Amino acid sequence: MARKLKRIAILTGGGDCPGINAVIRAVAKKAIVEHDATVIGIEDGYEGLVKGRHRRLHYDDVSGILTLGGTILGTSNTANPYRYPVRTRRGLQFRDMSAVALDNARQLDMDCLVCIGGDGTLDTASRLSREGVAIVGIPKTIDNDLRGTDVTFGFDSAVHIATEGIDRLHSTAQSHHRVMVVEVMGRNAGWIALHSGVAGGGDIILIPEIPYDADVVADKVKERNRRGKRFSIVVVAEGAKPRGGDVVIQRIVKKSTDPVRLGGIGFVLAAQIEKITSIETRAVVMGHLQRGGSPTPYDRILATRLGTTAVDMVRDRQLGQMVGVKGDSLVGVPLEEVARGPRTVPPDHPLIRAARAIGTCFGD
């Protein structure tokens, strides 16, 4: 007889992305329909675990949210229980609140805590797992930079949004004979820039994994002009950096575990291109548009598969693992492996080779 679950908790941490609600829906509905289990939603990521904020999710609470962006549970990318930001008279200080989080987790009397998140969320999940919390992780990030999985949900939606933006810029760039620099997200991984750049017909794609030379970029623009192509599209990842240089930092969020917020490379690069080529150059930052809105059909399907598989892993006591995508299969991946660091784009990736073969410049 199959083991029945009694109580599952769900937590969504880190940055929001399309498809989170689809995962919540899948986990909750399967737990309720197949196990008649109680489902608890932890509010605002690990902040809710530290402060004991949670609520029961009924079947109707998770109906009608498949296409809804964001997360109905709320999230936080600063509330790490092991380095929890606290305002004091001396200013911002960090305290280890993991003992409180662990105690609150035990009081929930749950079969498992399903953690939906990226590298930061799942790194914390790995630590909590080692301290005795039953956890199954689900890979969520638009950046697609998690180890142990071929793809994360949210990535396809972000690429779709970025590609649509690039498509729309082609006509205005061509009409005004301009260079358009499109800055996309991705942190220190170039997956969004690479995929949206290829899909959107970017003439130049700059990613963190391949440091660029501004003169090489400018030469490509001038070469296109000589051939009668009086406009160029440059797709640049927010974490791209010049050869021998460093990333452009938009701001520092002191209370965050990862305080550096990248951004602004598009404007820096646009100014360089215009100075070298004397061709009018404009920059557009896609920014949080890539995080918002309804998930693509692919992400809705992937989110549903990940969520339902997570419940099966809880049932089978495959704990301390993340549901990873390997080809067409879903597999359990130890959280320790996921926490080893970001998965970046190999410089010899097949998509890079294909793009180079059709004349795309990577600035090197």
Known catalytic residues are 143
Closest among 114, 247, 124, 270 to 186, alpha carbons compared = 247
Helix (H, G, I), strand (E, B) or coil at 292: coil
**Whole-angstrom Cα distance, residue 81 to residue 100?**
8
**Whole-angstrom Cα distance, residue 322 to residue 162?**
28
**For 143-161, what is the HEC assignment?**
CCCCCCCCCCECHHHHHHH
User: How far lies 197's CA from each of 50, 110, 140, in Å?
Assistant: 41, 44, 22
Q: Which residues lie closer than 8 Å to 223 by C-beta, 6 or more apart?
A: none
Question: Residue 328 class from Cβ within 10 Å (0-12 exposed, 13-18 middle, 19+ buried)?
Answer: exposed
**Whole-angstrom Cα distance, residue 166 to residue 204?**
12
